[in-house]
Amino acid sequence: MESIATLWAMLVIWALGSGLSRHGGLTGPAWARTRIGRPAWAWGLGTAAAGVVLAWATWLTGWFGVWPVYVAAVLAWLIRPGERGPAAPDPPLNLSWTGRIAAWGLVILLSLVTLDRCGGDLGWDGWAVWGIKARAIHGERRLETGVVGDMGRYGFSHPEYPPLMPLLEAFVYRHVGAVDERHVGLLHAAWCWCAAILLLGLLRQRLPDRWAVVVTLLVVAQRPFWQSVVTGQADVPLAAANLMVLSLLGESGASAGIGLALAGALLLKNEGMVTWGATAAALLVAGPDRPDGRIDSPWTVRVRALTPVLVAAASFVPWFVICRRHGLAVDLFVHGTAPVARWAHRAGSLAAAVAVRAAAIPGPAVLLWLAVSRLAFEPRPGRRASVFAGALAAGLLLPYVVTWKDQAWLFQTSLDRILCQLLPVMIALPARAAQDPAPR
């Protein structure tokens, strides 16, 4: 019965996202409306929306319950959908024997990750950073007093981390009726499938299906990706949010989707603020793309394009207020920054570490992608996507240059998490050329 309750809780989250995906601005790009892309897109929307709804409802009412998500799901299906995008061609995967082997490998790998998450407990980071918060919310039925009001009792680390993951885990616990890590493991497995399918959908816009599957398998098989899922961390969900934003930057009328994806990113991890800032930079610097590919919109139009960024920031208000009230700050900067004179040396050490690590782990996927996509001869990604990816990379790496903490130890323990968030975006970046006009 507990397993059925877990599946039901996840079905409610997915139903919320599926209902939202019927409405204009949330439908996603054409490939997200295919049989392969639709379930993953609905899960991405549903988890973001459920987190926002639970955060606001718990903060406003002072009481944590499951009913706000049910109400939101019912409204998403009852409200008449707006204008949808054109029907997307939905051809089956056209795979050679190479593609079939890769497809089976991808399914087997994702299935093994799912079985691992269903049968085991969370890793230390997943439990200490997210799991104990979920237990606190479930036990106290409150967000503020349950999570940060009694830190000595629950003893978790990083109390300043945003609450989307603990809220969704507590949502599952309320259905199960008890705290059991094996059940919330299904949440992480679903995010893993979601991120893999989103990456596959983006890659299919540029690559033959067989190579899209091969590259997706290579990315998912990298240790930074699957290890994040197995230990119950939030990096794969954030990677999925990044892929959603990347896929929407070249779409017209996608402000609602960008805003909801950003809201989910902000409530997932502190690094979600980097996603938020990178999106703002992409919308502000690049501006709306013109049909002829030129980007020369007035600043008033560019500022108007920031609407989804500002709306997403509103989702962060409850947690921002709680952090300010309790004096919680980002751990990297709680004691200020390192002396400016050390920044250049740190940047060099950081670049060397990234190069070595990237060559050792994600290198095969990157090299294969460069070879099969023939980037030297095909259109470049749209300017928005390029600015987003560049700002995301800079935003994820720069804090390790200026933080007061010891960089060598901190960065080595964080590098896999950074690659998990960044690698899928960099691999999928050239696929935006299939949708964005090339800058002139």
Ordered by start, the domain boundaries in the chain are: 2-80+98-434
pLDDT-derived band at 300 (thresholds 50, 70, 90) equals: low
Beta bridge partners of 337: 403
Q: What per-residue confidence (pLDDT) applies to 291?
A: 46
At residue 416, the 3 state secondary structure works out as helix
Q: What per-residue confidence (pLDDT) applies to 239?
A: 94
Per-residue pLDDT tens for 167-193? 999 999 999 888 877 788 888 889 999
| Residue 118 exposed, middle or buried by CB count within 10 Å (0-12, 13-18, 19+) | middle
DSSP letter (8 states) at residue 177: T
User: What letter represents residue 113's amino acid?
Assistant: V
The whole-number average pLDDT for the span 119-134 is 76
Report which secondary-structure segment, H or E, holds 95: none
pLDDT-derived band at 82 (thresholds 50, 70, 90) equals: low
Q: Are 93 and 103 spatial neighbours (Cβ–Cβ below 8 Å)?
A: yes
Percent of the chain residues topping a pLDDT of 70: 75
Q: Are 246 and 283 spatial neighbours (Cβ–Cβ below 8 Å)?
A: no
Phi and psi at residue 320, to the nearest 5° = -60, -45
Beta bridge partners of 403: 337
Angle made by CA atoms 395, 413, 322, in degrees to the nearest 5: 60
- Helices (H) and strands (E) counted in the chain, each on its own, are 23, 0
| Residue 215 exposed, middle or buried by CB count within 10 Å (0-12, 13-18, 19+) | buried
Q: What per-residue confidence (pLDDT) applies to 110?
A: 83
| Residue 414 exposed, middle or buried by CB count within 10 Å (0-12, 13-18, 19+) | middle
Torsion sign (Cα): 130, 132, 138, 144:
negative
Q: Are 249 and 437 spatial neighbours (Cβ–Cβ below 8 Å)?
A: no
Q: Which of 162, 167, 149 is nearest to 68 (CA)?
A: 167
Cα-Cα-Cα-Cα dihedral of 26, 31, 35, 37, to 10°? -70
pLDDT of 433 higher than 60: no
Which pTM does this prediction carry?
Answer: 0.88
At residue 1, the 3 state secondary structure works out as coil
Q: Are 204 and 212 spatial neighbours (Cβ–Cβ below 8 Å)?
A: yes
DSSP letter (8 states) at residue 269: -
DSSP H helices, 124-254, are 124-125, 132-140, 144-147, 151-154, 164-176, 181-203, 209-220, 223-231, 235-248
Cα 232 from Cα 236, distance rounded (Å)? 9
Per-residue pLDDT tens for 392-422? 988 888 887 777 666 666 777 778 888 888 8
